[in-house]
Amino acid sequence: MKYADLLLANLFRKKLRLTLTIGSFAVALMLFGFLAVVREAFAGGVAIAGADRLVVINRTSIIQPLPLSYMDKISRIQGVKGVTHANWFGGVYQDERNFFAQFAIEPTSWKEMYPEFKIPDEQWNNFLKDRQGAIAGAATAKRFGWKVGDRIPIKGTFLPGVWEFNLDGIYQGTRAADDETQFWFQWDLFEEKVPERYKGNVGWYTVRVTNPDFSAQVAKAIDAEFANSPYETRTDTEKAFAAGWVKQFGNIEFLILTIGAVVFFTLLLVTGNTMATSVRERTGELAVLKAVGYSDTFVLMLVLIESLVIAGVGGVIGLLLAKGFTLLGDPTHGMLPFFFLPAKAMVVGLIAAMLVGIASGIVPAVGAMRLRVVNALRRV
Amino acid sequence: MAIPVIYNLRSVKERWVSAIVAVLGIAGTVGVFVAMLSLAKGFKATLVSSGAPDNAMVRRAGSTSEMDSSVTLDQVKILEDAPGVAHGPNGPMVTSEIVVIAPFPMRSTGTDANVQIRGVSSRTLDVRRHVKIIQGRMFEPGLSELVVGRNATNTYSGLTLGNSVKFGGGTWRVVGIFDAGGSAFDSEVWCDARVLNQIYHRPENVFQSVTVHLNSYGDFQKFKDSVIADPRLTADVSREVEYYDKQSRTLTVLITTLGGIVAVIMGIGAVFGALNTMYSAVAERSREIATLRALGFGEGPVVVSFTIEALLISLVGGLLGCVAVLPLNGLTTGAMNWQTFSHLAFAFKITPPLLVEGVIFALLMGFLGGIFPAIRAARQPVAPALRGL
């Protein structure tokens, strides 16, 4: 550490250039962070999907219903620990752009199925007693400024009329990736108000298996149970179900990786060029260092560490900016329920920044190490 | 007196490495910018071209898309007699339709995607004039036969002419392939609406939407007024084009918001790169600049000269970025239409105005990256710089 002064003096030789180079790193890492956020936004549901949960939908398509009578039949299948059912409501709050998912749920089995969603007991008990009750996710409640006790009108789309709900509670996820945008209300109310031809139907079932290792077998058993009936089922693990949705978005991941690669390549060029320039300017000084007895390795490390410091500082600033950006909230207003920067991405980003730092510093550093003292001094 | 541009050209040539770095930085940014916008444009164009300007679409009042609307057969009959509706040899040009989705495996990944299945009337080709059967024939009413869009047959396995597929509990035969001129219909599969209702256990004689062909573009208001005024109908009437324009909004907003943020961040990075290049250019050439000043060139011409140099670099970068993404034009990709939960194929659409926007973006970056170093160059005291000789 006794060479810290030398290092600092070299770093601050050209303050403007230092600022710009650190700036380039910060920008690139902010972009990296942002791309990680976007990727998470599309694929986040896959990562957090419960390994021991299955989703049962109508074989024909997700928009076709399943009979309520399947609830008991599924729960009797071997390896099934619990079942719950839900319906998609698809209503509009104030304006079509205010999209968030609304589910008609069977409260008791739902709560057992999704322990990751936390809600105060008192609020939950109020909800159970209230036919027109509803529970909203913390993100959705914050977005519209809802408080417990508010009355929330939601206009039906495929079901006519405006439905009034009492907000009895607000749930919170236990993990950063948990979806806090959902809106739940009583399935009983839904059933009572839907037209005759929709009655006795649910949108989908979620099943918990006793042992995740056998989820494939359980899924098969469920589908076999209802084969050749008017309502055939299609059962997937929650993960496969979420992944299926993501795939339909097209090659988002490929797009992101391409952009990322373009950016890092550009960054490498910019910083490499800057480092090379700054070493070239110092040829004489480095030669003097070597002439007074410092080793080749010392000169190599000196240049390399300088480049690493720039990369590290820039990288940290960039990632912090990206983190700050996600705290501002989803810029598309509700289209991306998973909008956060995963910790893993921050670590990967920082490592990537350091690697770029090494890569861009290595060429000028090796050049400095190989410097022939006599030639260099002659140029002074 | 202005400094000749040839001076800048020669200077750029002299330090080509750092110039190339700046050029690539700007090219990358412009490339991403243009690619993102062309993706959004392509998606929008695909949906909007589905609608014809002289067609009107009727749905239940309050519905957000075809999926959650309903129109009964009685109401369809009323609409057929409404003023403004065109009549052809087969009767009124009206098609009452339902839309469902069915999973089909994508050829590219082998995983299932939701394909939009549209049950239509036999007169649908009278209403949608841009749709043509290019192979095979139209389905026979009452039979479980399919006609498949051009993109659908290429994107999903099983939907080839003469093949039989199973979905919704029925077996269907593909009897024709249609071309819908690059619109969203190209990703769809069409069949008889009544057959589809039966097989999907939907109530008979209830449709989701009605599309009518009008006598002329101007007849829309007349048609709409009469539908709204009719007490037997509770319906929303919109131009078909407007309906599809609205459908494209969600994903277009998503792509442009995310793409815009990415482009802005990259833009800042590229400006930093340009600043770095230009500042070192100014530092390396302080003697040259001082000589120019000593020769009698004023501060103004020096600022202009260096700004032009930055603009030249960014122009090359911008053009390079545009050229690099041009091969994307027409490339087909797929994405989900959030309004209908169905998979839709569409192509990147790179238009001349988009390229111009890209170049302007590049010049803006060049200007921001060039003006400050240029000012510094002009402000340099002449005598000490010359003494540096």
If you ran DSSP here, which 8-state letter would residue A69 be given?
T
Mean pLDDT of B352-369: 92
The 10s digit of each residue's pLDDT in A217-233 is 899 999 999 988 888 88
Chain B residues touching residue A263 (CB < 8 angstroms): 28, 266, 269
The overall average pLDDT reported for chain A is 84
Asked if B97 contacts B248 with a C-beta cutoff of 8 angstroms, the reply is: no
* Residue in chain A lying closest to B16 (CA): A273
User: What pLDDT was estimated at residue B161?
Assistant: 93
Q: How confident is the model at residue A104 (pLDDT cuts 50, 70, 90)?
A: very high
Pairwise CB contact (< 8 Å): A23 & B333: no
Which residues of chain B make contact with A249, given a CB cutoff of 8 A? 335-336
Percent pLDDT > 70 in chain A is 90
- Taking an 8 Å cut-off on Cβ atoms, the answer to whether A331 and B333 are in contact is no
Cβ contact, residue pair B276, A60, below 8 Å: no
Question: pLDDT of B292-322, one tens digit each?
Answer: 888 888 888 889 988 998 999 999 999 999 9
The least confident of A30-39, A215-224, B113-122, B329-338 is B329-338
Q: B263: nearest CA in chain A?
A: A31
Question: pLDDT digit string (tens) for B181-206?
Answer: 888 899 999 999 999 998 887 778 88
Q: What is the mean pLDDT of chain B?
A: 87
**Under a CB-based contact definition with an 8 Å cutoff, are residues B317 and B26 in contact?**
yes
Helix (H) or strand (E) holding A19: helix A15-48
pLDDT at A250: 58
Model ipTM value: 0.70
pLDDT in tens, B66-111: 777 888 899 999 999 999 999 988 889 999 999 888 888 888 777 7
* Residue A187 pLDDT exceeds 90: yes
What residue of A is the nearest CA neighbor of B234?
A160
User: Which pLDDT does position B137 carry in this prediction?
Assistant: 94
* pLDDT band at residue B159 using 50, 70 and 90 as cut-offs: very high
Q: Rounded to an integer, what is the distance from CA B377 to the centroid of its chain?
A: 44
Q: Which residues of B touch A247 (CB under 8 A)?
A: 106, 109, 111, 113
Residue B219, phi then psi, degrees to nearest 5: -75, -5
Q: Pick from A257-266, A297-306, B22-31, B148-157 the range whose average pLDDT is largest.
A: B148-157
B35 in Cβ contact with B333 (< 8 Å):
no
Q: Are the C-beta atoms of residues A218 and A80 closer than 8 Å to each other? A: yes
Cβ contact B109:B101 at 8 Å: no
Distance from CA of B130 to the nearest CA of A (A): 27
- pLDDT for B163 equals 93
Give me the pLDDT at residue A253, please.
Answer: 64
The model's pLDDT over B15-40, given as tens digits with 9 standing for 90+, comes to: 787 788 788 888 888 888 898 888 88
Token pair for residue A193? 């108000």
pLDDT tens digits, one per residue of A126-169: 999 999 999 999 988 988 999 999 999 998 877 778 899 999 99
Place of tokens 């006599």: A374
Measured between alpha carbons, how far is B267 from B284 in angstroms, rounded to an integer?
A: 25
- A239-248, B55-64, B121-130, B218-227: least confident range: A239-248
Tell me, yes or no, if A92 comes closer than 8 A to chain B by beta carbon: yes
Instruction: Grade residue A47 by pLDDT with cuts at 50, 70 and 90.
Output: low
Domain boundaries, chain A: 4-45+251-379, 60-231
